[in-house]
Amino acid sequence: MLHPDDRLTFTEALRPPAGHRLDCAVGATYSLDLETLLAAPAAFALREVDTGDLDQLDPMALLASVRLHADRMMVFHQAGQLSVPRRHRLFALLERSVFAVTAPLRGIFHPKLWVLRFEDRDDGTLRHRVVVASRNITGDRSWDVVLRLDSVGDTRPSRAGTGLGGLAELVRALPGMSVGPVEASVTSRIESLATEIEASRFAPPPGVDAVRIHPLGLAEPPAGGPPFPAAVERLLVVSPFLSGPLVSRLPTSRATPVLVSRAESLDAVADAVERFDTRVLDASVVDDVSAAVEGGEVEGGEDAPPEVTLAGLHAKVYAYDTGDRSHVFVGSANATTAAFSTNVEVLAELIGPTSAIGVDRILGGSGNGSLEQLLVPYRPERLSDEAGGAPSRLQLLRRAIGALEIEARVQGAGTAFDVRYSQTCPESKVDLPPGVTAVCRPLTL
Q: What is the pLDDT of residues 16-48, one digit of tens each?
A: 888 999 999 999 999 998 888 888 888 777 776
What would the mean pLDDT of 386-406 be, rounded to a whole number? 71
Strands 98-101 and 73-78: parallel
Helix (H) or strand (E) holding 265: helix 263-268
Residue type, 416: A
What is the rounded average pLDDT for all residues in the chain? 84
pLDDT level of residue 384 (50, 70, 90 thresholds): low
Could you give all domains of the chain from N- to C-terminal order, each with its CATH number? Answer: 10-213 (3.30.870), 215-387 (3.30.870)
Q: At what angle do helices 165-173 and 184-199 cross, to 10 degrees?
A: 170
In the predicted model, is pLDDT for residue 50 greater than 60? no
What would the mean pLDDT of 122-149 be, rounded to a whole number? 90
In the predicted model, is pLDDT for residue 53 greater than 60? no
Q: Yes or no: say if 152 and 37 are a contact pair by the CB < 8 Å rule.
A: no
pLDDT level of residue 438 (50, 70, 90 thresholds): confident
pLDDT level of residue 433 (50, 70, 90 thresholds): confident
Measured CA to CA, the distance from residue 276 to residue 286 in angstroms comes to 23
Q: How many CB atoms lie within 10 A of CB 214?
A: 17
pLDDT level of residue 399 (50, 70, 90 thresholds): confident
Residue 254 has what pLDDT? 97
In the predicted model, is pLDDT for residue 158 greater than 50? no
Measured CA to CA, the distance from residue 213 to residue 346 in angstroms comes to 7
- Within 13 Å, how many C-alpha atoms sit on residue 291's CB side? 8
Residue 310 has what pLDDT? 40
What would the mean pLDDT of 340-364 be, rounded to a whole number? 96
What would the mean pLDDT of 186-213 be, rounded to a whole number? 95
Q: How many CB atoms lie within 10 A of CB 244?
A: 17
pLDDT level of residue 88 (50, 70, 90 thresholds): low
Q: Which residue has the higher pLDDT, 254 or 69?
A: 254
Q: Which of 36, 37, 42, 17 lies closest to 26, judged by CA?
A: 37
Residue 411 has what pLDDT? 86
Residue 335 has what pLDDT? 97
Q: In what order do the strands lie in the sheet with 375-377?
A: 210-216, 345-353, 325-331, 317-322, 234-238, 258-260, 277-281, 375-377
pLDDT level of residue 3 (50, 70, 90 thresholds): low
Share of residues in the chain with pLDDT > 70 (%): 82
In the predicted model, is pLDDT for residue 347 greater than 90? yes
- List pLDDT tens digits, range 219-277: 887 666 788 999 999 999 999 999 999 999 999 999 999 999 999 999 999 999 999 99
Burial class (CB in 10 A: 0-12, 13-18, 19+), 392: middle
Spacing of C-alpha 292 from chain mean position: 19
Residue type, 260: V
- List pLDDT tens digits, range 275-318: 999 999 988 765 443 343 433 344 344 444 444 444 578 899 99
Q: Which residue has the higher pLDDT, 379 or 286?
A: 379
Measured CA to CA, the distance from residue 360 to residue 258 in angstroms comes to 11
pTM comes to 0.84
Q: Yes or no: say if 337 and 299 are a contact pair by the CB < 8 Å rule.
A: yes
Residue 173 has what pLDDT? 97
Helix (H) or strand (E) holding 205: none
Q: Yes or no: say if 265 and 278 are a contact pair by the CB < 8 Å rule.
A: no
Residue 368 has what pLDDT? 58
Q: Positive or negative CA dihedral for 410, 186, 428, 91?
A: negative
Share of residues in the chain with pLDDT > 90 (%): 51
Q: Specify the range with the lowest mean pLDDT, choosing from 71-80, 95-104, 425-434.
A: 425-434
Residue 108 Cα distances to 137, 180, 361, 402, angstroms: 16, 17, 33, 12
In the predicted model, is pLDDT for residue 112 greater than 90? yes
Residue 256 has what pLDDT? 98
Q: Which residues pair with 128 in a beta bridge?
A: 117
Q: Yes or no: say if 145 and 132 are a contact pair by the CB < 8 Å rule.
A: no
